Amino acid sequence: MVRKTMIFISIIAVFIHTGCNSFDKIPSEIIGASNKDIENRLEFINGTYKLSPPDVVEIDVNDNPELRTAATIRPDGNIFFPLLGDIYIEGLTPLEIREKIHKLLGRYLKELPEEAVSVRIAGFNSKKVYIYSYGGGITQISFTGDLTVLDAITKSGMLARTAKQSAINIIRGESDTVEKPQKLVVNLNDIIKKGKTENNIVLRPNDIVYLPPTFLGRIGFIAQDVLRPTQPAQSIGSAAASAQSNALGFGGISKTGN
């Protein structure tokens, strides 16, 4: 899975950086007020998110302190659970873990209702999301279950003045895999300046957030590539940022959010 994910990220990065037409053919969805991503977050976490080492789970059975445990998934994919010993849970969702533990406990606790077993993810430690800025490289942010697109961009510190804030792209595979990617388009200006928090979607594992350049920004990066042998790259990048700032009258987000 990790190898497939990195291959997917590399291919998408090449498409983005080279302007390959294949990238434009990824199905797009404009995020608006009808977006249900935040409402569906718990459904996704419980029914779709597949745990891996070193995620942390909390398991409770009928509020019984002797059967309550918090465990980090070991490298071999197992956790230790009282009464049952080692249980292999790597690759399972919280709902699947609940079903498995309920079935195993049925050997000892007769007539135990399935709803008596609760499973909660206490630590998201195995998955990442990726922030890619045209001309600025790529960085990764830990997936936390409630990480929004604005959170991720702010933490990355990669939103330059040359980024087209009205058309932030999110490349998302099917479920938590890299299959059948689609492109979600988010207007960051609507979130920041108009308070449309419904557009601030919650990211999912392996999402790639692409910060495309504005027209002036793209020209600046092209000039940088052409003039690199004779002019320092930093001055060209600064010129592009300055031109963008003068043209639009606003800047980007820094790491501190200023």
pLDDT by residue for the chain (258 residues), tens digit each?
555 555 555 555 555 555 444 445 555 555 554 445 545 677 788 888 999 999 999 999 988 899 999 999 999 999 999 999 999 999 999 999 999 999 999 999 888 998 999 999 999 999 999 999 877 788 999 999 889 999 999 999 888 777 889 999 999 876 555 567 788 999 999 999 999 888 899 999 999 999 988 877 667 666 666 776 655 544 444 544 554 454 444 444 434 344
* Per-residue CA distances from 103 to 34, 60, 224 (Å): 39, 14, 62
Nearest residue to 207 (alpha-carbon basis) of 257, 254, 151: 151
* Per-residue CA distances from 190 to 195, 245, 249 (Å): 6, 18, 16
Cα(202)–Cα(148) distance, integer angstroms? 4
All CATH 3.10.560.10 domain ranges in the chain, comma separated = 2-43+126-248
Entry pTM: 0.69
Q: Is 213 helix (H, G, I), strand (E, B) or coil?
A: strand
Specify the pLDDT at position 12.
55
Cα(119)–Cα(57) distance, integer angstroms? 7
Q: Would you tell me which CATH number, out of the four given (3.10.129.10, 3.40.50.720, 3.40.50.920, 3.10.560.10), belongs to the domain 2-43+126-248?
A: 3.10.560.10
Specify the pLDDT at position 250.
43
Residues in the chain, how many?
258
All CATH 3.30.1950.10 domain ranges in the chain, comma separated = 52-123
Specify the pLDDT at position 249.
46
> Is the CATH number of domain 52-123 3.40.50.720?
no
Cα(235)–Cα(62) distance, integer angstroms? 64
